[in-house]
Amino acid sequence: MLFAFSVAPMTTGEDGSVHDAVAAAVKIVRESGLAHETTSMFTTIEGDWDQCMDVIKRATEAVSAYGNRVSLVIKADIRPGHDSGEITGKVQRLEQAIADSVG
């Protein structure tokens, strides 16, 4: 399973930045041992339902230390029979399809 999530405090510092809170969440992800990728908008993790939801919960709790209200957005790709490697495999198949269509 792949879960893309974004978590941030609803209140921010004077400059509107949430990077310290997001860093606390990403640290939880990195320490989880799950395959992951962080971009400017979302962090994607790969694992089973319980593993991923535990990491998302702990990341959300870490962000809650930065404000009394938290925003959490989750998108999941639930695909039985594909236990690992999809975090990179999906992108590789996309790139191959693009390469195959050029020419």
CATH of 2-101, one of 3.30.565.10, 3.30.70.930, 3.40.50.300, 3.30.70.1450: 3.30.70.930
Q: In sequence order, what are the beta bridge partners of 36?
A: 45
CA–CA distance, 31 with 34 (Å, rounded to integer):
8
| Neighbouring residues of 58: CB distance < 8 A, sequence distance ≥ 6 | 28
Instruction: Report which of 41, 49, 48, 47 is spatially closest to residue 71, judged by C-alpha positions.
Output: 41
Does the pLDDT at position 12 exceed 80? Answer: no
The per-residue pLDDT for range 18-45, each reduced to its tens digit, is 899 999 999 999 999 999 999 999 999 9
What's this model's pTM, rounded to 2 decimal places? 0.87
pLDDT in the model for residue 13: 64
Domain residue extents for the chain: 2-101
